[in-house]
Chains A and B, each alone.
Chain A
């Protein structure tokens, strides 16, 4: 029994069948990559996990409890954090505030009317926030307003915002899209580094270099359903996968 069990999930948008009897099992502690051509339903699938979309049928079980019908903040409170395809950060706030907010969410819950408390008096949160900025290498810019960050730094910040919550499951939607080769390698190193924390990760990625550097298991999604699944070496050689997605690239 995996930490995330997805059973027979269907999702339609009008006439388009985005997810078609999708079944997926993610084991605890693994890095599970989801690959597939554009329009295969990868992002739709992720959106069904975090409460942005509600599947038409099927079940999504996380840690033995259903995620369906929960609101995004409730899903996050159960231990699921998400990095978006385009970095979603608090652009008008400093880097430190950006990581303090998720830390407060973790400690104080979804809502707390602590209008009389001072942020600066929460020393444990501040220390945690500075530590996580150090891990991702952004500590020097902690007072900067983060809308001025580069795209790569924004992604690293968003990753820090997820990591500070010590999630059980981390969803990464194309964490290296639009990055230079150097930035991509930095991100791979960073993800490997945080891999030691034992967080289960689901990575959606187009860059095969990233996928084969990180993944312990790969699922191939095409036309809304998983067509192949297995360890990286096996997937590399699977003719169905090559036909559906990889083409002759790796052949």
Chain B
């Protein structure tokens, strides 16, 4: 089915299921309960899960398959965002032209940066991409202000031409949409204490992510994908085998740049503004973390990694001292204060510390990332099950 192998179909089905059911799965705790702040089922965050999922899936095609570690992918994300906002300003608030332009422009951008950077490999390649991204970031802040609107960031205004849209007489800023569907529209389903939110923007992004994920599975299983893997293993051998590795790496670089542009375009489609900080090196580093954390070179890894990091960023950072006091107020005052003091550095503004520690633990004990950990656990469970069943078989004849 879908021209996928059995395992790949399973992985794809799993991702389809968790993505489409995310409004339920991300919202396991009833409204108003003490654990409600661990719910991630609100539109804004769910959109970010899938958009960063796209970013990481694309990054994985470059880093996971070829082993070329780009430290400048956020530049493509930023370029995609700017391109999309310009479409909203000039053409229409429909997200389709915006996304198409975002992908094309970032692809062109990746072609230029990739062509230069891929002349080197290893650490030199990483540094070149980092340099290009930081250059783009600085340019967006300074000389390119007419295009990027500098520090304020690029926004839509009432005076924009928007040649395809009907004249706006409401006096309100228009909103992004898809043939009448507004991206910010949200339906809420209340069951008992739960409130599940279904957001148009999330579902649009989710469908695009699923398409992007399907495409990445096809790339993984194609002769092209096999060559990319061969580059990671032994580029020397590949050249003496009659294959020119340069166009392969460049194609992978452009494809992953276009994924980043798609993510940037979608980000702007959910909230039509674009700022230079999206191109900063920390943003590039984040996608590296996502991919490694989830499992570089695996299909599912980048999606898991993106979800994991975005969850921490948004949920752990919200836990402040008041919330902590609330948790421990069953204890005597003295104990309560001690507990709050111990946990305080790890939550709220200190969420980076928790993430850093988790990252270290995963990289040291599970070099293959979360997917590797999951597979090992699964295998262990399977062998245990087999042991149990075989012992049952062995004991039955005795009885």
Interfacial residues, chain A to chain B (CB-CB below 8 A) = 50, 71-73, 76-77, 81-82, 84, 88-93, 97, 100-102, 104-106, 108, 110-120, 122, 161, 165
Smallest CB separation, B104 vs chain A (Å): 17
Whole-angstrom CA separation of A112 from B245 in the bound complex: 11
**Which chain B residues border A117 with CB–CB below 8 Å?**
222-224
Task: Give the B interface residue count (CB, 8 A).
Answer: 30
Contact A115 B242 (CB under 8 A): no
Sampled A-B contacts (20; CB under 8 Å): A71-B244, A73-B240, A76-B242, A89-B234, A90-B229, A90-B234, A91-B233, A92-B232, A97-B226, A97-B230, A102-B241, A104-B227, A105-B242, A110-B243, A111-B248, A113-B224, A114-B222, A115-B251, A117-B224, A118-B3
Smallest CB separation, A18 vs chain B (Å): 20
Smallest CB separation, A237 vs chain B (Å): 37
Smallest CB separation, A99 vs chain B (Å): 10
**Which chain B residues border A106 with CB–CB below 8 Å?**
242
Contact A114 B229 (CB under 8 A): no
- The chain B residue with its CB closest to the CB of A78 is B242
Contact A101 B243 (CB under 8 A): yes
Smallest CB separation, B368 vs chain A (Å): 12
Q: Is the interface of B mostly helix, strand, loop or mixed?
A: helix
**Which chain B residues border A165 with CB–CB below 8 Å?**
241-242
**In the complex with contacts A73-B239, A100-B226, A111-B248, A91-B234 CB distance below 8 A:** yes
Contact A112 B224 (CB under 8 A): yes
Contact B251 A88 (CB under 8 A): no
Whole-angstrom CA separation of A90 from B233 in the bound complex: 5
Whole-angstrom CA separation of A97 from B238 in the bound complex: 12
**In the complex with contacts A101-B227, A118-B222, A88-B234 CB distance below 8 A:** yes
Find A73's partner among B224, B232, B242 (CB 8 Å cutoff).
B242
**In the complex with contacts A90-B233, A92-B233, A115-B218, A82-B225 CB distance below 8 A:** no
1/0 per residue, CB under 8 A from A, across B238-280: the answer is 1111111101100100010000000000000000000000000
Smallest CB separation, B332 vs chain A (Å): 57
Whole-angstrom CA separation of A219 from B223 in the bound complex: 41
Smallest CB separation, B372 vs chain A (Å): 14
Contact A93 B240 (CB under 8 A): no
**In the complex with contacts A72-B240, A93-B233, A110-B244, A104-B221 CB distance below 8 A:** no
Smallest CB separation, B234 vs chain A (Å): 5
Contact B234 A111 (CB under 8 A): no
Whole-angstrom CA separation of A76 from B238 in the bound complex: 10
1/0 per residue, CB under 8 A from A, across B123-138: the answer is 0000000000000000
Q: Give me 14 other A-B pairs in contact (C-beta within 8 A), A76-B241, A76-B242, A119-B221 excluded.
A: A72-B239, A73-B238, A73-B242, A76-B240, A93-B226, A100-B226, A102-B241, A105-B243, A110-B243, A110-B244, A113-B247, A117-B222, A117-B224, A118-B222
Whole-angstrom CA separation of A102 from B224 in the bound complex: 13
Smallest CB separation, A154 vs chain B (Å): 12
Smallest CB separation, B225 vs chain A (Å): 7
Question: B5 on the interface (CB 8 Å rule)?
Answer: yes
**In the complex with contacts A88-B240, A105-B242, A115-B233 CB distance below 8 A:** no
Query: How many A-B Cβ pairs are below 8 Å?
Result: 104
**Which chain B residues border A50 with CB–CB below 8 Å?**
240
Question: B157 on the interface (CB 8 Å rule)?
Answer: no
Find B223's partner among A73, A82, A108, A110 (CB 8 Å cutoff).
A108
**Which chain B residues border A91 with CB–CB below 8 Å?**
233-234
- The chain A residue with its CB closest to the CB of B245 is A73
Whole-angstrom CA separation of A20 from B226 in the bound complex: 42
Contact B242 A112 (CB under 8 A): no
Whole-angstrom CA separation of A77 from B221 in the bound complex: 25
**Which chain A residues border B234 with CB–CB below 8 Å?**
88-91
Question: B152 on the interface (CB 8 Å rule)?
Answer: no
Whole-angstrom CA separation of A185 from B225 in the bound complex: 38
Question: B219 on the interface (CB 8 Å rule)?
Answer: yes
8 Å CB interface, B136-159 against A: none
**Which chain A residues border B219 with CB–CB below 8 Å?**
115
Whole-angstrom CA separation of A93 from B251 in the bound complex: 21
**Which chain A residues border B247 with CB–CB below 8 Å?**
111, 113
- The chain A residue with its CB closest to the CB of B247 is A111
Contact A90 B237 (CB under 8 A): yes
Find B251's partner among A73, A76, A81, A113 (CB 8 Å cutoff).
A113
Question: B236 on the interface (CB 8 Å rule)?
Answer: yes
**Which chain B residues border A112 with CB–CB below 8 Å?**
223-224
Whole-angstrom CA separation of A165 from B230 in the bound complex: 17
**Which chain A residues border B227 with CB–CB below 8 Å?**
101, 104
Whole-angstrom CA separation of A11 from B239 in the bound complex: 23
Smallest CB separation, A41 vs chain B (Å): 20
Whole-angstrom CA separation of A100 from B229 in the bound complex: 13
Smallest CB separation, A236 vs chain B (Å): 33
**In the complex with contacts A92-B233, A119-B222, A77-B251 CB distance below 8 A:** no
Q: Which of A89, A110, A115, A122 has the most chain B CB atoms closer than 10 A to its own CB?
A: A115
Smallest CB separation, B240 vs chain A (Å): 5
Whole-angstrom CA separation of A122 from B248 in the bound complex: 20
**Which chain B residues border A97 with CB–CB below 8 Å?**
226, 229-230
Smallest CB separation, A74 vs chain B (Å): 8
**Which chain B residues border A110 with CB–CB below 8 Å?**
242-244
**Which chain A residues border B255 with CB–CB below 8 Å?**
115
Whole-angstrom CA separation of A122 from B223 in the bound complex: 9
